Amino acid sequence: MVKITFIGHSAFKITGENHSILIDPFISGNPVSAFSDLKADDILVTHAHSDHLGDSIEISKKTGARITAIFELANYCGEKGAKARGINIGGKVPFSWGSAYWLPAAHSSGTPDGKYGGVPSSILVNIGGKSIYHAGDTGLHYDMKMIGEFYKPEIALLPIGGFYTMGINEAVKAAQWLESKKIIPMHYNTFPPIKADPEEFKAEIETIGKECVILKPGESIDI
Ligand code: NI
Ligand code: MN
């Protein structure tokens, strides 16, 4: 069994039989983050913005968890004292718990102190026989159709807040292209510019025959 816990914003913890993963662990400074057990084997990061890189470096230094991220961002984390591994778009990355792919996102990526963070990414996680797609921060882009056709993620975590990323209408189209059965909205209502109604998104997702699971910070689903 695999458990997905929403920490808040775009931060998730995914727990498999014997391992756990943090994705984009933005905890301190996150007005909506709920307590979650931050002990994990791996930290996966989509891009360098502070609301995604978040506490990754501190958690790695404190717990020994390894960060995997796009090459330039991983180097930055390594320079700051974290345990980090640099990868790049499209390669299958092996893990003790399965595998993951870093895939495209239509966004930007700079570190909190203004350095180039490499390209922004989305992440497809394969764990415990399940495939989970975290879209990162992104506008709607046509590679999502390729990801749907080729990788067929069962579950998609999609930003709906608009302003910095796609909003509800684009996320509904993304859900169609990704061919995922179950959709979890993220990246909304953390800050005033990204206000969105997840119930409106859920209603739209249901009209295209898919399931939408709205998680409050701290809530989990078993998949
Ligand atoms: Ni961003
Ligand atoms: Mn963001």
Domain with 72 in it: what CATH number? 3.60.15.10
Q: Tokens 């490499």 belong to which residue? A: 118
What band does 35 get if pLDDT is binned at 50, 70 and 90?
confident
- Within a domain: 24: yes
**Residue-wise pLDDT tens digits, 143-157:** 999 999 999 999 999
- Within a domain: 221: no
> Into how many domains does the chain fold?
1
What is the CA(215)–ligand 1 centre distance, in A?
21
- Within a domain: 171: yes
- A 10 A CB-CB count for 81 gives 11
What is the CA(164)–ligand 2 centre distance, in A?
7
The set of residues, in sequence order, having a beta carbon less than 8 Å from that of 47 and lying 6+ positions away, is 53, 70, 73, 105, 107, 108, 109, 117, 120, 121, 136, 137
Residue 116 · residue 72 · CB < 8 Å:
yes
The set of residues, in sequence order, having a beta carbon less than 8 Å from that of 46 and lying 6+ positions away, is 10, 23, 24, 52, 105, 120, 121, 122, 123, 134, 136, 137
- Within a domain: 101: yes
**Residue-wise pLDDT tens digits, 106-128:** 999 999 999 999 999 999 999 99
Closest ligand relative to 193 C-alpha:
2
- A 10 A CB-CB count for 110 gives 16
- State the residue range of the domain holding 155: 3-215
- Within a domain: 223: no
State what percent of residues in the chain have pLDDT above 90: 97
Say what the pTM is.
0.98
Helix (H) or strand (E) segment spanning residue 144:
helix 143-151
Q: What is the mean pLDDT of the chain?
A: 97
What is the CA(159)–ligand 2 centre distance, in A?
9
How far does CA 17 lie from the centroid of its chain? Answer: 20
What is the CA(49)–ligand 1 centre distance, in A?
5
What is the CA(137)–ligand 1 centre distance, in A?
5
Neighbours of ion ligand 2 (CB under 5 A): 51, 137
E strands, 32-97, where?
Answer: 42-44, 66-70, 84-87, 92-95
- Within a domain: 220: no
What is the CA(187)–ligand 2 centre distance, in A?
7
- Within a domain: 210: yes
What is the CA(119)–ligand 2 centre distance, in A?
14
What is the CA(18)–ligand 1 centre distance, in A?
31
Retrieve residue 8's tokens: 């808040």
**Residue-wise pLDDT tens digits, 74-105:** 999 999 999 999 999 999 999 999 999 999 99
- Within a domain: 117: yes
